[in-house]
Each structure stands twice: as C-alpha cells, then as structure tokens.
Amino acid sequence: MNRPSTICAAFLCAVVPLCSPAADTTMNLITAPAFDGGQLQFDGMYYDYRDPLAQRAIKLWVPPGEEPVRGIIFHGNPGGGEGDTRPLALDQRLQEFAARHRFGIIGVTWFRGGEIYRQTAQIILNVLDGWVKMGVHPELANVPLIPRGSSNAGVTSYSFTCFAPERMVCFTPNVGPSYTPREPSDAALKVPGLLHIGPADPFFPMGVKATAELFCNVRPRGALWAWDAEEGKGHEIRHVDDVDLKFYDTCIGLRLPPDADPRKGPVTLIELAATNGWLADTDSWSSRRGGGGATYIAPYAQYDAERTHPVWLPTEDIAVLYRAIATYGNPLEISIRDIGTVENPDKDGALLRSVGGNVVDPGTRIVVECDASKMRDWERIEFRDGAELLGTVKRGGKAECTFVVDGAKRVYALVALGYDDEGRVRTSFPLHFIVRDPAVAAALQAQRAAHAAAERARTRVWKSEKAAAPAPDTADAALVAHALTPAQEKQFGAAEGAPAAFWSADTGKYDTAVLRASIHAAKPATPGQDELVRARAAHSQAGLYLYFELIDAAPGPGAEMDFHLARESAATLFTGSPLEHFTVLQSTLALSESQYHAPFGAPEKPGAMLVRNVPFPWHMAPRTQSFDAARKEDGIIVRQVNAGGRRGQEWFLPWSQVGIPGACDAPEAGTRIGCVIGYNSDEGENAVSLRWPHGVDPWAHSYQKGPNPNPWGDIVLGPVME
C-alpha cells in the first residue's frame, strides 16, 4: 500500500554533544521536530516521540550493533488510551528475545484502538519515517512489525494489521475483541494471527460472540488466523505469553527472508501456503468431540472435513501449544524446578500488559515437574517443547523430565501430554522461557553500560531564581537547607544507627517542614494523630542532606518516604511553555526531577531498597537499587536511624543525583530546588498519604489545573548552620 508522506521537507536536527570525551560517541543525544510539531529524540539506544500536546507518545528500543534492525515488536497501550507500554521497551528479558532476531521493541501511550484504522495508524508510520530522518537507522522506514497487546492494545493490534498488512509478520491481540474494520482485506487475512479472548471478560462480555462471527466471515476467505477463549479467563493475560513468543519466533523464521535488508527498501514478507499449516477445531475445546481428551488438531491435508469450524495454525509446534491453551478442563500442571515465575503486576485489570518471562542460559539443566493428580488414569506422560519430544515417563515413574537447554533455540514453550490406556490425550497449559545467547547478552550489557555512562555525563543545569532564604516557618511552602561546615559534614554517618548531630540544632531557629494529616493528606484521612513526619534539610558543596523523623505512632509495615526533587523552583515550573517543564500535561511531574522512595521496614528488619522514578525523557522510568548499590553506583546514602526512640531516615544525595541525574556544579546559595515531600503510612486503601506543601500529588495534579494549589514547594539553599 503506497501512502503519501506527511513528513515536513524542512527537517532540522540538533545534536547535543556529551560533556565527557570518554563517553561512547554512539550515545550522543539527537533531537528534532516531529511531522506534527511534536518532538523527536534519539539517545543512542532509545527513540522517543511525543505530540504537541505532550500526550500521545512512542518509545522504541533498538538492539546494539551495526547490522540493521530487522523488525519491531509493537505493543499498543491498554486502558482505552491512558495506559502506557513504553516501559516494555525497557524490559531486559524481552530485549534478550528481540535482540536475537535483531528486532526492536516499541511501547506507546494514548493510542485509542478504535481510532487506529481510520486515524492514528498513519501517525505511527510517520514517526518511524521521522526517526529515519535523524540519520542513524534508515531501515525504520521499512522494517516489518509484530503488533501485540491486551485490551485497547488488542484492538490496536488487529486494526494496525488491517491498516498496513504488508508490514506485518504476524499479530496477537489479547482480550480486545472490537474489530475495525469488520471486513478485513485479503492482504490482512494472509498475516498469521492468533486472537485470544476472555470468555468471562467483564469489559467485553460479547467478545466470544463477536469473534466467532468474525471467523465465520474470514475463515471461508482463507484467513491464516486462529482464536481461543481460555477457560474461565476474564480481562487478563493468563497463558498468552507462553504461546505468543513461540508464535513470533516461528513466524519470523517462516516469513522474514534471511537476507532481507530494510535499509535498501520495503521488505517483501514470504506468503505462507495454508496447505502447509495445521487446523484446529474450535467446537472441540470442551466437548471432546472425536473421543479425545483435548482440542482436535491435525495437519491441513488430514483434517476431518466434517469439523466445520476450523482455525489455522502455521506449524505443528504452534498447533500443540494452541491445543494446550484452548482446551477446557486440563488436568495436568507443569512447573520448572528452581525457576519461579516472573511476577507481572499488570496481569489483569484495565491496564494489563505482558512481561518478557524468564531468561535461561544455554547448557542449563532443566527439570520440568508435572502434577498429574487430576489425571489418575494416565499411562504415560510426554514432555514437549511445542511438538518436539523432550522426554517420556511411564506409569509408576516420577512425573518429571530433565533436559539441557539448547543454545540454538531462542524460546522454549513447554507442555505435558498425558495418555490413558486407550490412547486419549490430555494436556497441561504451556509454560515458556527465553534462551540467552551469551554474545547477544554481552552486547546488551555493553549497550546498557554505555547508555548509563552517557546519562551520568550529560550536563544538567539549575533553573531557578535566586533570593535570600526566608525566615524559618513550618507553615510555608519553603524548607530552608542550611549550609554545613566541614566539621558538621563529618558528623554524617559518624554514629551507628543515629542521625548526625547537626540535626539536633534548635528546630525553632532552623527550618522544619511538618507533615500533618489535617493539611497534607492527598485524600481525606482521620489517623489517630495529626503530625506524622518532620523533615529538615542541609547542604554542602558535595550535595544535599535530608532528615525525615517518623512521629507516626502506628506506621504500617509498608510505611515509606516518597519525595520529589527538581532542578527548578516551584514557580519556574509554571512559567513559559509547559512542554519545557513537564513529562505529560495530565500530571505535574517535572522533566528535571527524580522521585525517591524508601520504606522504613520493621524495626527488627529495616528497609534496604531504594526506588527512583526518573524522566526518560517523557515518561517516568523506575530504577530499583539496594542501599549498598545506590551508594556504590551513584553516591547516594540512605540510613535508617533512631533518635530518642523515634525512627527516621537520613539521606545524602550528591548534586549529580538531585533531580534528574547528570553532571553539574553545586548550586549557589539562594537557589530554590523544587520539592514535594511525601509520606505513605502503609499500602492499600486505608493508608494515609501526605504530600507537603499543599496535600497535592504531582502524579495526580494535571498541568491544566494550574498552580493553585501548586503541588510543588521549594528547598531553599540557605546560609551556614551555626
């Protein structure tokens, strides 16, 4: 399909050099205007786009190396629009899989699935063209795509495939059974598709009916598609990742020519012959038609013609996995010894999204265990990777299989098949893991290290008006940080388990911020006391010191400090264009900030982990470190302390880690550092969340609401502490 380009002819790029000559030159920061007046950026590892309203955005990770990017795994966003899959571009497990194919990974936000086919799919292609014009990856204009995702992203996956079928290797929508267009083109029907539905989905209660009707239309026309409705599944992920990664691996191998070079022009994907595939009978998911104990599957030429609702699958591997996910009443359950599952906090709900999964080294000895207690009449159990037999156990033997991971494979998708004495087969659900390639893993590690070094070396500036520090006032929106003498600096960390002596100075003379439930609660709260936390600040040429004294008499086990620091003042944030200050206009998260979390933990087991959220560049990317790692890698010191029976946290942040990380000089006296001090008394609905200075959380306060009240206050760098 040929489309006119909407990229502006006059396209200006600015290259921002790194301040350190030792930094990897491939990580130079390139910025440019987007076709629609929005912004583009490439930092050597990630491409980014955001629209002129700072709402719609796209992030692309590219694999390391000089060879061209061969394709992209594209994740739509869930949540009807406001969901965000840009963090999936940072998923290191998924990168291990994608890099072995030299595929990139895209995540997006604010692409509504219902608008993709008629309006916004072209924006995605325009952005790819815009990144091409930045002069680093010309192949992005032609690379094939694999659209995937759940909920709204499932709608996107289907519609994007129908919009540009010539670019699509395959597609896998999950729990997004809203189909635009209802009459897909013949070209779209030739793109292998695996559509996953939730029969108990509260968001799409008619999803099974809508999908069955779609297939009554497309299968007679030769659609190379299949659909399943996993038993009991609602609006959730369930086992789709255990099938989909093997499906991608298979379709890439079948459809993408090994010698294709998208730098030279469009890639002609290989058209698959329906007769080379397999068929499955959707009527046999639960009825056991034909006397078997699992969904009926067969090679195309051997399929029983009396079964009138077949779906198409590309290989026997995928047919075996399809049977495993589609069959109802599976009595077998498999697990991998000593390898737990990867926790997915977004496995259900409106904002669900996938994760990459476990990554295992080649040569690893794997033990697959099978719980067959619900199939008491089994005579033998086969363990398979897709269709490939890994091992067999007969009745009386231990239901497990041992094998060594083959480094030539990119992904395993395991399944157990149980047979009774009449040869009837029953199945487990599938279980996948990704295989690490040591050379690829080393290249990924080098890429991440170079990117981190470039980020640390990137020059940052302080954007603030300077004025004399105000008089101490616990009720204002400014916390004065007094300068330390060299002798006072040495007091930090000098006493085991106790705060530095300089914090004990008269709090009436030196400034204190008091977090009160009556003033600072982000939502109405009625705790047993009003004052819950006291905060103080100090500074030196080396960095910023903070002390949080916990006066909450009954903190929960999840009690934590949660604060933001920005390299500009509260007033500066609301001057000029908001695009210069905020990540998105639906919040007041600053482009110059970092957010810091640290739990107090139990007295007998204090917290020892730090989580930071940092703009990257137009969304907040989390980074988790132990206190020890934060000290070694970034010079951040967090101490759990006790003063007179009151617990507290004492922090030291070098100036390079105050706000968005980067190289900088110490700010001058009088500088105002934007600050929001937060305390969460626990996790869950009954937790009390306080936000100083005005009880407003920058995550929840949109820019459009203005600065009244302003979520941000200031830390003001004051005179020497006497």
Confidence of residue 287 (pLDDT cuts 50, 70, 90): low
Confidence of residue 361 (pLDDT cuts 50, 70, 90): very high
Burial of 63 (0-12, 13-18, 19+ CB in 10 A): buried
Confidence of residue 582 (pLDDT cuts 50, 70, 90): very high
DSSP secondary structure string, 698-718? TTT--GGG-STT-S-EEEEEE
Closest CA to 616 of 443, 458, 462: 458
Of 278-292, 348-362, 467-481, the poorest mean pLDDT is in 278-292
Q: Give the tokens for residue 170.
A: 């395959």
Of 9-23, 376-390, 394-408, 465-479, the poorest mean pLDDT is in 9-23
DSSP secondary structure string, 623-689? EEEEHHHHHHHH--EEEEEEETTEEEEEEEEEGGGSSS--B-PPPPTTBEEEEEEEEE-SSSTT--E
Class of domain 478-575+632-720: mainly beta
Residue 412 CA to residue 291 CA, distance in Å, equals 30
Q: How distant, in Å, are the alpha carbons of 113, 167, 238, 240 from that of 152? A: 5, 21, 17, 16
Long-range contacts, 621-626 (Cβ 8 Å, 24+):
621/87, 621/90, 622/87
- 116 close to 123: Cβ distance less than 8 angstroms: no
All structural domains of the chain with their residue ranges: 478-575+632-720
Q: Which residues pair with 504 in a beta bridge?
A: none
pLDDT in tens, 522-551: 877 666 788 999 999 999 999 999 999 999
DSSP secondary-structure letter at 116?
A: I
CB atoms within 10 A of CB 307: 17
Of 42-46, 479-483, 501-505, 660-664, the poorest mean pLDDT is in 501-505
User: What average pLDDT does this structure show over 42-62?
Assistant: 98
Top mean-pLDDT range of 22-36, 159-173, 518-532, 570-584? 159-173
Given phi > 0 = left and psi -120 to 50 = alpha, else beta, which region is 159?
alpha
Mean model confidence pLDDT for the chain? 93
Higher pLDDT pick, 475 / 37: 37
Phi, psi of 284 (to 5 degrees): -100, 10
Of 170-174, 253-257, 502-506, the poorest mean pLDDT is in 502-506
